[in-house]
Chains A and B, each alone.
Chain A
Amino acid sequence: MSQKKLKSIARGLEGTAGTEVDATYLVKAPGTIKFNTVIATPEMDYATGIGGGNVEGATVSSDGTTITLSDYLFSHEDTVWLCNHAIKALPGAASTFAFTFYTTAANTLNTFTYEVNTSVSNASYTVPYCFVNKMGFKADADSNNGNVYTNAVIMGRAATAKAGTGSLGFLAAMEHAVINQCTLHLDSLGTAAGTASASASVLRGFSFDIDTGNKPGVYGDGRQGKDFSIIDQGDYVITTKLRLLLSATAVTRISNWRAGTAEIVAVKVTGTSSRITKFNLPTVWQDMTELGEAEGNGKLMVELTGKSAYSRTTTAQGPNINVTLSGSTTVT
């Protein structure tokens, strides 16, 4: 019997990038798997004496895999695992993980082997050398009961049809979050992210869409495989959106946007037992919704969109996702 949905997605930390390992944990996310296989068809494309060409002679030009994790409930714990193959290799053991986007030199990234499993024989796939190409974090009081969500696009090498690792569980002590637990802190350039007191009762929603800049790197490295040999790390792009009650706080943001004045945005997601995830993002606002257009709970809202990156004003501030868990943790 075939199921309508995937049976499971699991992943395990690779000790050596590209050397496949067994998965260690199930990922609590819905998803899809796409094979990025490209074939060349010379007997169809070239004049071979047969009108329309032949179907034989096809050859694989390139291969790879994309695994898309659709919106799933955020957890502080999953964020550590995700950021390890998105921003920086910080496997622990530690309680606090500071994932800072790279500045003058690329960060070392961890890679994972992903297993995407269905209940159909030979339709489960193992994908080595996986890294995060895109990811996002968002929450909105007017959507999905205010739950904080994560999503990610994972890219990896060519998939192997293989039964997944059995008897896996979920990350220990996962704690999810809702917008209620989030606070917004706004500081001028030159001040450490999160210094200002929380702007009370204005944050209705936020989203951080991150293109990590990590891409499959295909080079002449003498490999017989048709997939990429290394991860190319290009410029990241962070798109930051805040949805605010029209208030003094929103008015200052609007003024900052119109004056071209950047600022330090920090959104803290505070959980229990010391858990806290901080999105520390120097941001320059670039657009906002028309005043009078955005509405929530019967009140006027403002949605601002900006780009986040490095702030060089002393004291300099790099964009980072800083996660503290409830206890010492090692990524596996």
Chain B
Amino acid sequence: MAQLKLLDPHKAGIYGLPAEDTTAEALQKLLTAGEWTNADALKHIDAALSAGVYQKVESKRTGKADADGGAKPEDK
């Protein structure tokens, strides 16, 4: 699941996307519910990322993933 961190709430509004941390999948679901095709939705999300609306959050997996899907450093 591609985590997206909100960088610019104003630009989020311009793209018609939520001004909050979200995921690429959630955005795709939002746009396709509005009768956009998957292809158009992905292109719009890509454009929003290029515009700096969100930043992709890379997960760091050093051990077991926790229940939320992100990795935590292993306890020693």
A residues lining the B interface (CB < 8 Å) = 186, 188-189, 196-197, 247-249, 251-252, 255-256, 258-261, 263
Contact = CB atoms under 8 A, between A and B. Distances in A.
A196 B41 CA distance: 14
Interface in B19-38: 31, 36-37
Contacts of A197: 39
Contacts of A260: 51
26 contacts: A186-B43, A188-B47, A188-B50, A196-B43, A247-B40, A248-B31, A248-B40, A248-B43, A248-B44, A251-B44, A252-B40, A252-B43, A252-B44, A255-B14, A255-B15, A255-B47, A255-B51, A258-B14, A259-B11, A259-B15, A259-B51, A259-B52, A259-B53, A261-B47, A261-B51, A263-B50
A304 to B, nearest CB: 14
B4 to A, nearest CB: 16
Contacts of A255: 14-16, 44, 47-48, 51
Contacts of A252: 40, 43-44, 47
B46 to A, nearest CB: 6
Contacts, number: 47
Interface of B: 11, 14-16, 31, 36-37, 39-41, 43-44, 46-53
B37 A248 contact: yes
| Residue in A189, A252, A263 with the greatest tally of chain B CB atoms within 10 Å | A252
A256 B52 CA distance: 11
A89 B17 CA distance: 47
B50 A248 contact: no
Nearest to B11: A259
Given A248-B36, A248-B37, A261 B50 contact: yes
Among all A-B residue pairs, the 4 with the closest Cβ atoms: A248-B40, A261-B51, A259-B51, A188-B50
